[in-house]
Amino acid sequence: MSSTMKEEFYTQKRWLNWMNKVKDSDFKLTESEDKNSGAVFIYIMDDVVLACLKVIARSEREILSAEEALDDIEVIRSIVFQEHESLGEDADLMIESLKTSLAAVFVSSQRYITGSFDRESPLEEMVARAVAEEEKENLDEAFDLLSQVGARVIGGESLPEIGELPYCMTAELMDGIDAISAAMIGDDSYKDEDGSEDTGEGD
């Protein structure tokens, strides 16, 4: 019976609730001036990022072994990457972009947990190299570099000012890493919440 005690960091139900919200919003890209219409995608990203950071916080406190933590990240990834019905053409494009951003979050998380990343190179240099690799169509190489940048951001390093990137995979992956960075600066309650109800409301 102990399996019911296993903490669920993210559930399929939660993801599907978000997908239903997107579907109900009837999102259209033409309304880009109306910032609120795209806000839901930012909320979805933050929600998933926080779930990953929770897993990492548990592994750092050795509540989870590295192996369990990697499995938990994989579970979240499989929920996010499952096929779903179309939510409308524009929303589908946004979800695809979101999934690319989140791919960086998942691999950055896994790299951080296993400790397999370059700790020496300056971050801006790694981002610049990723952009250059993508221009040469070495997408795997670009992804590899950026997931290492993400691991270092999870480790507490600040993202350098990168400036405007052209719209490309690197930019989408950086969105995911930005979301990690923002989540860590913002709400750090994910670190000490151990699943008990007392989250200390006196804030």
Contacts 24+ apart (CB under 8 A), 125-133: 127/160, 127/162, 127/170, 127/174, 130/170, 130/173, 131/165, 131/168, 131/170
Token pair for 194:
């151990």
> In this predicted structure, what is the pLDDT of residue 27?
87
Q: Residue ranges of the chain with pLDDT lower than 50? A: 1-4, 195-203
> In this predicted structure, what is the pLDDT of residue 199?
37
Token pair for 191:
């670190």
Distance CA 79, CA 167 (A): 26
3-class DSSP assignment, residue 27 = coil
> In this predicted structure, what is the pLDDT of residue 179?
95
- For residue 80, the surrounding DSSP H or E stretch is helix 66-80
Distance CA 152, CA 112 (A): 7
Distance CA 98, CA 198 (A): 32
Task: Quote the DSSP letter at residue 115.
Answer: T
This prediction's pTM: 0.87
Contact 57, 39 (CB under 8 A): no
The amino acid sitting at 63 is I
The total of other beta-carbon atoms located within 10 Å of residue 29's CB is: 12
Task: Quote the DSSP letter at residue 167.
Answer: S
| Residue whose pair of structure tokens reads 């509540």 in the numeric block | 63
| Residue whose pair of structure tokens reads 């190299």 in the numeric block | 129
> In this predicted structure, what is the pLDDT of residue 195?
47
> In this predicted structure, what is the pLDDT of residue 67?
97
What is the distance, to the nearest Å, from the Cα of residue 184 to the centroid of all Cα atoms in its chain?
12
